[in-house]
Structure 1
Amino acid sequence: MIEEPSGTNIPLPHADGLVFRPPLIGDVDAWLGLVKRIAAFENAPWHAQRSELEAALADPGNPVAENALVGVDADGVLRAYADVSKNPAGDKANVQGGVDPLWRRRGVGAALLAWQEAQAAARFAVDSALVLDNVQAPDPRVPKVRNHVEEDNVGQRALLAGAGYSVVRYYSQMQRPLLDLPAVQAPEGITITPLTDELSEAVRLGHNEAFADHWGSEPRTQERWAVEMRHEHLRQDLCTVAVDSTTGEVAGYQLVTVDPGDLRPGHGGEGYTELLGVRREWRGRGIAPALLADAMTRFVQAGLDRAALDVDTENPSGALRLYESMGYQPVRRSMVWDKLLGT
């Protein structure tokens, strides 16, 4: 079901041979097929899954009727897509999308990006009148648009650079084989336990607290958290929580995904740490390395042969040094590109 428009009215992009419209529930299979074609062509390390596309179609904070488009050719085949998402109290709008490899170099990507920027600017203008939790929304005169791109995606980098975007941050994907595991124990008074449904909400709140001082991070709503908890690749049996044995409070946590497509004969697969955090009150006690070491043991027991994660290379908390000390090494990088609109 398409939500009511959010108050913006941005003209649709134009590209010869394509008709643009909001995606519909019936498009999910075709949309996922398009996403997979693009990811295969770009050799991308990940791509959106069905649950994420379905969540985008039902996201009340970013109504799909105003914030997403698909481009359909004369045969009814989806050839391009784009979406815009924004927290009303956030300082940026995130944009993402892609074009079928067979339809590139026709100006489709540039047309979609221009539409995304116009929609983002309109969202800032609408959101500027809102107040959430007594925090005034950002100044609409300087709307900011953000796009995450793999460093080896030359075409996307050229598109963004040509449109006036600049790199503001680098993230490193790090990996280590599950050999010679570090012998790190949980500190006294901390118990590492599997994530349960009963602990999930406490972990969400703990994550929002732990990442409140992290660059670019925004709080996870219950709706977004629910999407992450039902993601196809989430391995709840490998997710863990560090619990204070005295108070029962969540001190830290680790969420893990495993791509089933990576589990092929002779290739044991990778346990990927999607989120790792320690709440402020419990920092400096060795909880993060204990969570990582515990996860590695669980990965081995699950038949995996590699551990991986991503890190902000400028993270002031020392995360990069921690991961290096635990045996992780960089294998590829991604880039965060920003553009201030109207400046």
Structure 2
Amino acid sequence: MHATPAHRPLTLENAPALAELFAAVEAVDGTDEHYDAEDLADELGDPRLELPHDSAGVWSSGELVGYAKATGLRDATDVHLVYVEGAVRPDARGQGVGAGLVTWQVTRAAQLHRERFPDLPGEAHIQIHAPNTAKRDLYQGAGFQARRWFFDMRRPLDGGEIPVTAPAGGLRVVPFTAAYEEATRLAHNEAFRDHWGHTPTAAERWRHGTTGARSFRPDVSFLALDGDEVAGYLISHEYDAETAMTGIRECWIAQLGTRPGWRGSGVATALLTTCLRAGQEQGFRRAGLNVDGANATGALSLYERCGFRTLHTWIGYVKPL
């Protein structure tokens, strides 16, 4: 690379270039995360983002060699969170591109915090793949500190038939239907109310990233109902880019939660085993999920009991704003 890099915000039309950048990063960093242009167009279309202000791209010889985003939440309780992310193409590393993008992220995160919740404490958050020590060093140098550990877990589905459990107290596990979309969103906000880093999910964001995403799979998503009330829920996604790259259909369990009043009645286990059996019957070869290692509800041990094993570790880094 010899040309002086150009810096400009990303647009929706940059999704193919961003997909090429992600593929080059994945080939070296090995996170087992694969995205196509449509996936990234969805992410760039996040209603919380204002791309002209909340994104940055670094271009060299007409190619995208680095990017960054800062997503400031529009709701806050005790702390206002801004999520940052970014990457540099491997052949452009070591030239100051990453350091410049981190500086941009910190600056933009601080601006978003001042604009939206100046009277609350603010934090910038990022998850970094644990083996990527160079990226960790870069963010630590900018004042980020390791705060939490998260695990990508997988479970094969091509073995013997998976036994399904039932919840106690007469609760029913049923397939997800659109009639329960709003009740499920509210159940999710209640179930995760006391979890680290959780901010209530607004209806627009829920539709965009969860039930309205092209990756959403209602046929492997389930609800636990007490009468007509949502006691728990499991939302699954399937990513076409992942299947195309690996040749393996993976049922990704994006959301699993039980409302506090129904904990201890086997709701989560019943939802999970029902999903795994359905995925098995529908031709998925494995299931995957991401879990907070310090989740107070014991989610990690639940997943291990159901046959999931850790494949990747991610570290949540935080910087006060």
Fold shared, TM-score > 0.5 on shorter chain? yes
Tell me if 1:94 matches 2:83.
yes
Counterpart secondary structure, 2:14: helix
Instruction: Give the drift of 1:264.
Output: 7.0
* 1:155-194 equivalence runs, <5 A: 155-178=134-157, 179-180=159-160, 181-194=162-175
Counterpart secondary structure, 2:15: helix
Aligned residues: 314
Q: What is the match of residue 182 of structure 2?
A: 201
The one of 265, 273, 276 equivalent to 1:293 is: 273
Report which stretch shifted further, 191-200 or 274-283.
191-200
* 1:125-164 equivalence runs, <5 A: 125-128=114-117, 138-139=120-121, 143-164=122-143
Q: What is the match of residue 30 of structure 1?
A: 17
Counterpart secondary structure, 2:167: coil
Instruction: Give the drift of 1:40.
Output: 2.7
Instruction: Give the drift of 1:162.
Output: 2.5
Instruction: Give the drift of 1:121.
Output: 1.0
Q: What is the match of residue 291 of structure 2?
A: 311
CA distance in 2, matches of 1:47, 1:18: 26
In the TM superposition, what whole-angstrom CA distance separates every residue of 1:52-105 from its partner, at most 9, and x where no partner exists?
5435544554321111111122x3222211110111343221100111222111
Q: What is the match of residue 10 of structure 1?
A: none
| Structure 1 unaligned regions, length at least 5 | 1-14, 130-136
Counterpart secondary structure, 1:120: helix
Letter in 2 for 1:146: H
In the TM superposition, what whole-angstrom CA distance separates every residue of 1:275-307 from its partner, at most 9, and x where no partner exists?
100111221111100001101110110122322
Q: Is the 8 A contact 2:34 2:245 kept in 1?
A: no
Counterpart secondary structure, 2:19: helix
Tell me if 1:212 matches 2:210.
no
Q: Percent identity?
A: 31
Q: What is the match of residue 68 of structure 2?
A: 82
Tell me if 1:20 matches 2:7.
yes
Q: Is the 8 A contact 2:254 2:289 kept in 1?
A: yes
Counterpart secondary structure, 1:92: strand
Instruction: Give the drift of 1:41.
Output: 2.5
Question: How high is the TM-score relative to the length of structure 2?
Answer: 0.89
Q: What is the match of residue 318 of structure 2?
A: 338
Q: Is the 8 A contact 1:95 1:116 kept in 2?
A: yes
Q: Is the 8 A contact 2:47 2:205 kept in 1?
A: no
Q: CA RMSD in A?
A: 2.4
Letter in 2 for 1:100: R
